[in-house]
Structure 1
Amino acid sequence: GRFMLVCNHLFIADPCVLLHCFPKSQLAFITKKENQKLFIVGKVMHKILCQPVDRENDRAALKTIIKCIQLLKNDEVSIAVFPEGYTSKNGKLHHFRNGVFKIAQKANVPIVVCTIRNTRQIFRNITRLKPTDVELHLLGVIPAEDLKGKTTVDIGNQVYEMMIGDLGESFRMEEA
């Protein structure tokens, strides 16, 4: 069945790693709208039904969330999100944009939680034509039934703590 995949975000190559690790899942990503303009990448994202989000416009972001709910309900794709909303420059797990969890709630699909490590090293190694070991840790599944009656903040906190449990306390962002 369909699901929402949630992962930390370290590097631009993270979606490629997830597509490679979930080849039969038909993953579509929520991506910043600016990525649509990238040569070749934008066309590929359109082809696999990636959904652009305008992070500066709440109304447009809501339309993206509604579209993702429809794609899941229509059994077209599973949705992958990086709830931090951007790549982590310091490697820490940044605070989440919890609105994305509304997608799984409204589409009544489970959330698959994972963490990714070492993708930033891909860029450093590629210039030396050196392979890179990347780790993907599958942490668990939050069943759709467990999402009922929870706020998106509650769900976000649960996912965040699952990820910190795997990455370690040193990856937790300090409170502002």
Structure 2
Amino acid sequence: MGQVIPSNWSLGWSQLVMIIIAACVILKFRRTIIFYTKYILYLNCFMIIGSLTSILMLTRPGHRDNLTRWAGLFTRYSVKYIYGIKINIFGSEHLKTERPFIIVCNHQSSVDNVGMMEIIPRYTICMMKKSLKYAGPFGLAAILCGSIFVDRSKPEKAKQAMEDTIKIILKEKVNLWMFPEGHRNMMKQREDHMLPFKKGAFNIAVKAQIPIVPIVLSSQEPFFSFKHRRFTSGTQNIEVLPPVPTEGLTLDNVPELSEQIRKDMIESFVRISPNLQSNSS
């Protein structure tokens, strides 16, 4: 008669095989696992910040300084240190221009929030897509910061939102931060580095006859990349370009105005991004 292998012996070998297989999978996808773990934790940082700041902002809901006073403060003294992101700022004197003005900034990923909260001037509100209004604690904090939400799928409502935004800006003397690319561009590689600009920010500036202040965030590729599954410590350079006046301009001038500002921002982007400088040399 053949020897009967004890059931606990078979179970032990099965567990060992499963452990070996699991270890191989983890080793193969280690980079991806670490990247998404750090990225999910990063997103949760803003959920926590949203929860904490919402409590404080409830004392003056919708106040136009809530974003910089509370959300900005908590971000500046937490996330960049947790993730080891160093910030260098150039041209901050250009933000001392008289309010109100429109800020246009390039948009790479959600990691833009770190640089944005470092440079954003007081009494600034944001325009964002309507879906973010329902993004849990983050959405609640955005509402309490007086953010303006736009439903891009409904042109009529978007147009009305623009008119209402102009009234708020001129009446309350607040700045408006916008990402004219409309979408994050890190997943869409382009030789000219930025997506085409949507005209909303420039239409608002021209109709309100207020200046546009371009802000450029350097390439995040050295420390954050979906493509390479990389999220490490690194340096984010930020350059504030001189204000661009809009007095005397009309909506007919918007296409040329937006294209010139986009060109200036791309030149700045290449200039302040060390990885692009090394690639071109």
**One-letter amino acid matched to 1:21:** I
Does the aligned pair in 1 maintain the 2:216–2:240 contact within 8 Å?
yes
Partner of 2:236: 134
Letter in 2 for 1:61: A
Q: How many residues align?
A: 165
2:101 is the counterpart of 1:3: yes
Would the aligned equivalents of 2:207 and 2:251 in 1 still touch at CA under 8 Å? no
- Normalising to structure 1: TM-score of the pair? 0.81
Contact 1:99 / 1:152 at 8 angstroms: preserved in 2?
A: no
Task: Return the alpha-carbon distance in structure 1 between the equivalents of residues 118 and 167 of structure 2.
Answer: 24
Q: 1:13-162 to 2 correspondence within 5 Å? A: 13-24=111-122, 26-88=123-185, 89-90=187-188, 92-119=193-220, 121=223, 124-125=230-231, 131-145=233-247, 147-148=249-250, 150-162=252-264
Q: Is the 8 A contact 1:3 1:111 kept in 2?
A: yes
Q: What are structure 2's unaligned runs of at least 5 residues? A: 1-98, 277-281
Secondary structure at 1:93 match in 2 = coil
Higher relative contact order (CA 8 A, sep 6+): 1
TM-score after normalising by structure 2: 0.53
Q: CA deviation at 1:65?
A: 1.0
Classify the secondary structure of the residue corresponding to 1:17. helix
Q: 1:43 and 1:122, CA in 2 relative to 1: closer, same or farther beyond 3 A?
A: farther
Which amino acid in the other structure matches residue 64 of structure 1? Answer: A
**2:101 and 2:213 in contact (8 A); partners too:** yes
Q: 1:74 to 1:19 in 2, by over 3 A?
A: farther
**Sequence identity (%):** 23
Gaps of 5+ in 1: 172-176
Q: CA deviation at 1:150?
A: 4.6
Deviation readout 1:105-135 (Å, 9 max, x if unpaired): 122211001211245745843xxxx543211
* Cα-Cα RMSD: 2.4
- How far 1:10 moved relative to its partner? 0.6
Q: Which deviates more from structure 2 when the two are superposed, residues 50-59 or residues 11-20?
A: 11-20
Q: Tell me the equivalent position of 2:110.
A: 12
Gap change, CA 1:15 and 1:155, over 3 Å in 2: farther
The corresponding residue for 1:174 is none
